[in-house]
Chain A
């Protein structure tokens, strides 16, 4: 990949978002190359989730534009899949695991058309990939946090997108699920997909990801983990001195 210039999957230009005049994201310029597994890190309130949501047009930015493979995001929706934060929905909703995963097929179905056997097969395959096939008929509130996260992941996998955005997929999951999820993310990268993950655990950044963006309202830095995941950038992002075990010995 070093020899050729990598294609840019996502290009963000001058993105600014504010809630009630308070800037949440300030003038973000970001280019994400195709095929990276990228972490977005930053302290609480740094605008990480907001960045994903404004890229995906869930939140209207004050200014700025987002292009996906050179075209506006709105024209490229079918290339992009989103895994929201687990806590953003009510898991007591009356539906089953399979039903939630089936929702991943609704985009390609379009308005009104109902899912059929083909869609069910795709959903079952995705459930299999995340190891949740035995739980397909479970009511979703009867799943553990880790299992719910896997269901969300499976729903995105069904979309068979080129780019995946995930909002804290490791939050509140057990070690087994974390391993299973990172395995799937690495497989996605191997298949040439671009995966962008809002991530909290700095310890695992070098192990899991090959690309990283430091964010704290402004973009602090972005690039390969091996080059830019260092004390300097951590300190700039988190505001305190990060001479800690996080980077020592691992880089």
Chain B
């Protein structure tokens, strides 16, 4: 099946365009999504993408035709207005940001849906297909769309490189950045604007409903693998691009699978995999570490029990019967062998004795000076 797909990719120009488009989209969204996640503005992306729907509908009503770039411009304006509303509500009222996001998201989206249903009843042959902006339709990507996406992606990359230091500092500590004399509002606006642009870029492919997942999933996955911002941004871009390419491949190989949702599902797989298997923050390794710690604790308990027996003798390496440990619950043959492997005790047939090292370790077990 993979070979069939690759053969198809070689000859099918449309598929090449779509693959390139989804890859670029995934990369940009992953990169900029990292900033949204770290700015704790994950939901902002969701609100803005939903809020872009009325913009699309209004532009269609005004123009009367489906001009893709025109519609996206409408989406951009509508998204930006929503962003301004959200920030305004947060700063001017007592409402918290989640409430502000919720209000703006549902109001704008509801209004957009209203317009959409109105448009569908119009006696105009052009209106069909406008609902593709709800869930996206990658198949409609043209070479010119991909060119535009690539241009925007390049600009976004340049801006991120140029203002890397400023972005990083604002994301970590905006108040402090202000005291150094930087215009935090400008940096903040720049970040938000690019997030809005990335969202609008993806509307045609992924749609308003799922777009925020494109933004957040690669970034959330990338965060699990690294503790460096630069690596996180790069990884998120990579995860996003791979999700785009794989998603396109899957939907091209299987008939009638919508590309947008498949891309989003693959990006989500990255998240699940990363949350379980990442060596620094993954659940699996955390659990293994916990088990190991518990085991170590058990060993140390045994050792400390041995120490209590040994310390009554003059000679610390004086051998004792293993049976002596019987009335103590925390030991097994295996744990004794592990203690021996760590050079803490010596086993000799049915006898055990503490080594010099074992004695010292046991003695310092409960002192915090280590």
Complex Cα distance, B166 from A89, in Å, reads 16
Complex Cα distance, B181 from A237, in Å, reads 34
A109 contacts chain B at the CB level, 8 A cutoff? yes
Mark out the residues of chain A between 99 and 120 whose CB falls within 8 Å of any chain B CB in the assembled complex: 99-100, 103, 106-107, 109, 111-115
B143-187 CB contact bits vs A (8 Å, 1 = yes)?
000000000000000000011111011011101111111100000
Quick check: B94 and A100 within 8 Å, CB to CB? no
Quick check: B165 and A114 within 8 Å, CB to CB? yes
The answer to whether A88 and B168 touch (CB under 8 A), given A96-B227, A111-B182, is: no
What are 11 inter-chain pairs, A to B, with CB distance below 8 A? A58-B178, A82-B179, A88-B175, A90-B40, A93-B171, A94-B229, A103-B173, A106-B169, A107-B180, A111-B166, A114-B165
Please, which residues of chain B bring their CB within 8 A of the CB of A89? 172-173
Which residue of the partner chain A has the closest CB to B280? A139
Quick check: A115 and B229 within 8 Å, CB to CB? no
Please, which residues of chain B bring their CB within 8 A of the CB of A90? 38, 40, 172
Complex Cα distance, B168 from A155, in Å, reads 15
B228 contacts chain A at the CB level, 8 A cutoff? yes
Give the interface size bracket for B toward A.
Answer: 20 to 34
B251 contacts chain A at the CB level, 8 A cutoff? no
Total of A-B residue pairs, C-beta within 8 Å? 79
Number of interface residues of A (CB under 8 A): 32
Which residue of the partner chain B has the closest CB to A114? B165
Quick check: B181 and A94 within 8 Å, CB to CB? no
The answer to whether A112 and B162 touch (CB under 8 A), given A84-B173, A88-B173, is: yes
Complex Cα distance, B164 from A58, in Å, reads 22
Chain B interface SS verdict (over half): helix
Please, which residues of chain A bring their CB within 8 A of the CB of B166? 106, 111-112
Please, which residues of chain A bring their CB within 8 A of the CB of B171? 93
Complex Cα distance, B162 from A57, in Å, reads 26
Interface centre among B178, B226, B232, by most chain A C-beta atoms within 10 angstroms, is B178
Instruction: Quote the shortest CB–CB distance from A154 to chain B (angstroms).
Output: 13
Mark out the residues of chain B between 169 and 214 whose CB falls within 8 Å of any chain A CB in the assembled complex: 169, 171-173, 175-182
Instruction: Quote the shortest CB–CB distance from A49 to chain B (angstroms).
Output: 10
Quick check: A94 and B223 within 8 Å, CB to CB? yes
A245 contacts chain B at the CB level, 8 A cutoff? no
A77 contacts chain B at the CB level, 8 A cutoff? yes
Complex Cα distance, B176 from A155, in Å, reads 10
Complex Cα distance, B168 from A78, in Å, reads 20
Instruction: Quote the shortest CB–CB distance from B46 to chain A (angstroms).
Output: 20
Please, which residues of chain B bring their CB within 8 A of the CB of A56? 175, 178-179
Please, which residues of chain B bring their CB within 8 A of the CB of A84? 173, 175-176
The answer to whether A106 and B165 touch (CB under 8 A), given A89-B173, A93-B38, A93-B172, is: yes
Complex Cα distance, B177 from A20, in Å, reads 25
Complex Cα distance, B281 from A139, in Å, reads 12
Quick check: A95 and B179 within 8 Å, CB to CB? no
Which residue of the partner chain B has the closest CB to A85? B175
Instruction: Quote the shortest CB–CB distance from A120 to chain B (angstroms).
Output: 13
B226-265 CB contact bits vs A (8 Å, 1 = yes)?
1111011000000000000000000000000000000000
Which residue of the partner chain A has the closest CB to B171? A93
Instruction: Known A-B contacts: A81-B179, A90-B172. Give 6 more (CB < 8 A).
Output: A78-B181, A95-B229, A96-B227, A107-B180, A107-B181, A111-B182
Please, which residues of chain A bring their CB within 8 A of the CB of B176? 82, 84, 103, 155
Which residue of the partner chain B has the closest CB to A58? B175
Complex Cα distance, B281 from A94, in Å, reads 12
A-B pairs with the 6 shortest C-beta distances? Answer: A107-B180, A139-B227, A82-B179, A77-B181, A58-B175, A89-B173
Quick check: B173 and A94 within 8 Å, CB to CB? no
Complex Cα distance, B181 from A112, in Å, reads 13
